[in-house]
Amino acid sequence: MEKAGRDQKERQVTRRFDVVVLGAGAAGMMCAFRAGQRGRSVLVVDHAKAPGEKIRISGGGRCNFTNLHAGPRNYLSANPHFAKSALARYTPRDFLDLVERHKIAWHEKTLGQLFCDDSAKDIVRMLLAEMRAADVVLELQVQPTAVEKTLDGFRILTSGGPVDAGSLVVATGGKSIPKMGATGFAYEIARQFGLKIVETRPGLVPLTLDPHMLEKLSPLSGVAVQAEVRHGKTSFREALLFTHRGLSGPSILQISSFWREGDDVKLAIEPDLDMAQQLKAARKANGRQAAQTALSENLPKRLAQFFVESQGIAGNLADLSDKAIEKLAASIRDWTIRPAGSEGYRTAEVTIGGVDTSDLDSRMMQAKAVPGLYFIGECVDVTGWLGGYNFQWAWASGHVCGEAL
Ligand code: FDA
């Protein structure tokens, strides 16, 4: 009797939706409104106080919301082909059309990177407006605690009570920036349902140096310069920043996703300049000039001083042989550094690895062995370069999933 009463009570309080989306981030919100537009009843649950917090802080508050050149080659994954289908079916132009329909002003900063003119909050507001228009229910500060398979879908136990769903979409992101509420919840659910996880590690993250190297480079802290940073066959030409912990800036964040502990990275400072030729020309024009002064024509002063001192050069340009100049130039063009580690998930922009794509259908992001269960966005083993690629993956994977629900 007592049990029957309890069952009846549970039936009364267990709400049912066609779709429950866990995570009101970039991928979750995109997926939710697309499914809502297609007539599905959709609930989005998030434990945070506000939706889209990473969107809000992204791109220095202006959100680098896509990249015009986004294609499969801009992503790391154990299966580089997996992202092709979603990226082809929802392109940067598709997202830009949405941005323009909402009259959000934008600009291309560099290398195809599109940013809001005003604020990243415009993107969050846009996604919320789309969700409202599609009658999506959003519940914040609700903690999902467990997921169970039922005969006709899933039961999600949450701090707000149980919810039944025909389909469950996991969009809780990766582990980066735990302070902002990032959790490994998606991986737990994936494991619970037998999906494999590709080992996770921090990506797009500053690299740290050992104390000895740090002391040597400490005078450079705060110096920024153009550089080509190389790891094996992969290289990026963007800004490099020396910090009080080690190395940062776009070129380092990019290479950090490829770097593994114990590996070297190679730096070519100002790779477009022929330093040897410049120094020889300066020696011809004014031999009494100090090498450091001549070098600081093309390099930040402190960096010029660092290279000159590292080569033990003290005199004027006229005192330097061709060989000495070429050696100095080579030290600038071909600098090998072995980072000690990375700053970790505390500051990483993304998590590399995640739900193994071999267990997912690339057209709709459904778990192959668990009909009705979907994984989208950063929790999947697809990680973009720096420059708007990660949001494009979130939009694209969210969109194709929403189309399938
Ligand atoms: P996302 O992390 O956006 O959303 C996950 C949601 O799930 C969050 O709302 C979270 O609260 C919720 N959640 C997590 N665990 C939960 C749990 N256990 N229960 C309930 N809810 C839970 N990319 C880019 O393309 N351009 C850029 O400019 C930037 N800039 C940038 C700056 C910084 C500082 C960071 C940290 C990251 C970026 N990125 C970026 C990366 C980008 O933010 C990231 O790839 C996407 O937000 C991923 O979208 P998702 O929806 O998958 O996860």
pLDDT at 393 over 50: yes
pLDDT at 10 over 90: no
Q: Is the CB of 364 within 6 Å of ligand 1?
A: no
Fold designation for 2-202+352-404: FAD/NAD(P)-binding domain (3.50.50)
Average pLDDT over residues 281-304: 96
pLDDT at 93 over 50: yes
Ligand 1 mean position to 300 CA, how many Å? 35
pLDDT the model gives residue 366: 98
CB 295 within 8 A of CB 304: yes
Q: Is the CB of 175 within 6 Å of ligand 1?
A: no
Q: Is the CB of 394 within 6 Å of ligand 1?
A: yes
Opening angle at CA 7, ends 3 and 11, nearest 5? 170
CATH of domain 207-342: 2.40.30.10
Q: Is the CB of 47 within 6 Å of ligand 1?
A: yes
pLDDT bracket for residue 341 (50, 70, 90):
very high
44-85 per-position pLDDT tens digit:
999 999 999 999 999 999 999 999 999 999 999 999 999 999
pLDDT at 1 over 80: no
Please give the mean pLDDT across all residues of the chain.
Answer: 96
pLDDT bracket for residue 11 (50, 70, 90):
low
- Residue 147 pairs in a beta bridge with 156
Q: Is the CB of 25 within 6 Å of ligand 1?
A: yes
Examine the predicted complex and report whether its ipTM is higher than 0.95: yes
- Choosing from 390, 393, 401 the residue with most ligand 1 atoms within 8 A of its CB, the one to mutate for a pocket test is 390
Ligand 1 mean position to 47 CA, how many Å? 13
350-371 per-position pLDDT tens digit:
999 999 999 999 999 999 999 9
Opening angle at CA 85, ends 395 and 384, nearest 5? 50
Ligand 1 atom having least distance to the Cα of 66: 25
Ligand 1 mean position to 265 CA, how many Å? 28
Q: Is the CB of 91 within 6 Å of ligand 1?
A: no
What pTM did the predictor assign? 0.95
Ligand 1 atom having least distance to the Cα of 120: 28
Ligand 1 mean position to 134 CA, how many Å? 22
309-331 per-position pLDDT tens digit:
999 998 899 999 999 999 999 99
pLDDT bracket for residue 274 (50, 70, 90):
very high
- Choosing from 172, 248, 393 the residue with most ligand 1 atoms within 8 A of its CB, the one to mutate for a pocket test is 172
Ligand 1 atom having least distance to the Cα of 394: 49
CB 51 within 8 A of CB 128: yes
The residue extents of the domains of the chain are: 2-202+352-404, 207-342
